[in-house]
Amino acid sequence: MTTAVFYVTLALHLLAVAFKLLLLFMIPRLKNVAQVQDFLVKYKKMDSAANRTLWLTGGAMILANYRLLFQMWLLVSMLIYMVIFWIIKQVALKGMEEVAASKKIHAREELRKLRISNWCAIIIVFILLMSIGTLMMTKPF
């Protein structure tokens, strides 16, 4: 894989990661059940495309340079990314599904709970992303 193709693949990979993280910043903008339901339908379609993009571009980068798999810091970073995406799925998506399933029009209490758990997820994800950045810069092992 040439350098230009690698960087294009990396850019697509990072774009998919950014899309998945964008969910955490969209939740505070949702004001009622109808908005949550509409957003959830659109997001799930795009999320499956982002998932496929992540797997394809990640696989392409590893196939292009299999030596990446021998860098422990990168393997730990991949594990941390998986934890981040699991947190997003467990906190944000499940919370949104609970609000969407609500029979209420505004579901203020459910939305408040979703926003609080979302802010907690943002803080945890930020800390995990900073740890990935530290691993990338220092390559400790």
Q: What is this structure's pTM?
A: 0.85
How does pLDDT run across 55-114, given as a tens digit for each residue?
999 999 888 888 888 999 999 999 999 999 999 999 999 999 999 998 888 888 999 999
> What is residue 102's predicted lDDT score, i.e. its pLDDT?
86
Q: At residue 7, does pLDDT exceed 70? A: yes
Backbone angle region of 139, left / alpha / beta, with phi > 0 → left and psi within -120 to 50 → alpha? left
Q: What is the mean pLDDT of the chain?
A: 92
Task: Place 34 in a pLDDT band, splitting at 50, 70 and 90.
Answer: very high
The token pair at 98 is 């609970």
Place of tokens 């850019």: 11
- Cβ(23)–Cβ(88) under 8 Å? yes
> What is residue 1's predicted lDDT score, i.e. its pLDDT?
67
Surface-to-core class of residue 92, CB atoms within 10 Å of its CB (0-12 exposed, 13-18 middle, 19+ buried)? buried
> What is residue 141's predicted lDDT score, i.e. its pLDDT?
80
DSSP state of 1: -
> What is residue 64's predicted lDDT score, i.e. its pLDDT?
85
First to last CA, the chain: 26
